[in-house]
């Protein structure tokens, strides 16, 4: 087993551990070692996207959605990870979280963190490169279209994400 000295930023806080299994998957580290259970494990092969988190190479860099079930800890060393637990701040729920609640976007809620994090990465992308209003639906489909919801809450998820995109100044031209 190869080990690494792990050092990365998680939800705005530095995480450092010595002698960590380099091949341990991020989802396992988050859930088992750190007790952050918002990131779910489902298929284990990055198909369902339930385990989606956001990754930036350095603070302030572009956020991309990654699948934590197939991302080894060696791949995140020195980078910035945001999980669903990192969305809420001192002002309360993130606008995406509030919109998901307001639109009754989920039933069982198991896939919800993955949808939230995929949408979170989309918002970051749109802050950097706004799009025309007529392209919003396609951008949402690109961001979360491959996420699987067994309760079939897709319409409500899309509605909530669309609401946040359209209501956030600077995302749509």
The CATH number of the domain holding residue 129 is 1.10.150.120
Looking at the structure of the chain, the number of domains it has is 2
116 domain residue, yes or no: yes
Please identify, among 54, 86, 118, the residue that sits at the C-terminal boundary of a domain.
86
pLDDT higher than threshold 90 for residue 90: no
Q: Where are the alpha helices (DSSP H) in the chain?
A: 26-28, 95-102, 112-128, 136-144, 154-167
- Which tokens go with 122? 């989309």
- What pLDDT shows up at residue 28? 98
Q: What is the pTM of this model?
A: 0.96
Tell me: the pLDDT tens digits for 36-57? 999 999 999 999 999 999 999 9
Of all residues in the chain, the percent with pLDDT exceeding 90 is 91
The confidence band for 107, taking pLDDT boundaries of 50, 70 and 90, is: confident
The span from the CA of 108 to the CA of 124, in Å, is: 27
173 domain residue, yes or no: no
The confidence band for 26, taking pLDDT boundaries of 50, 70 and 90, is: very high
103 domain residue, yes or no: yes
**Structural domain of 58:** 3-86
Looking up residue 23, the CATH number of its domain turns out to be 3.10.20.30
Contacts of 151 (CB under 8 A, 6+ apart): 106, 107, 108, 111
């Amino acid at each position: 087993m190869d080990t690494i000295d792990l050092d990365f930023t998680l939800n705005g806080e530095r995480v450092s551990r010595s002698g960590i299994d380099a091949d341990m998957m991020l989802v396992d580290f988050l859930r088992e070692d750190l007790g952050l259970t918002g990131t779910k494990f489902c298929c284990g092969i990055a198909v369902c996207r339930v385990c989606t988190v956001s990754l930036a190479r350095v603070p302030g860099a572009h956020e991309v959605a990654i699948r934590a079930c197939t991302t080894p800890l060696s791949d995140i060393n020195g980078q910035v990870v945001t999980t669903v637990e990192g969305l809420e701040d001192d002002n309360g729920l993130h606008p995406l979280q509030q919109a998901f609640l307001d639109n009754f976007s989920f039933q069982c809620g198991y896939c919800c963190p993955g949808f939230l994090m995929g949408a979170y990465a989309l918002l970051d992308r749109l802050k950097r490169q706004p799009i025309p209003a007529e392209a919003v639906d396609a951008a949402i489909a690109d961001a979360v279209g491959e996420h699987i919801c067994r309760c079939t809450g897709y319409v409500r998820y899309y509605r909530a994400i669309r609401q946040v995109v359209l209501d956030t100044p600077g995302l749509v031209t």
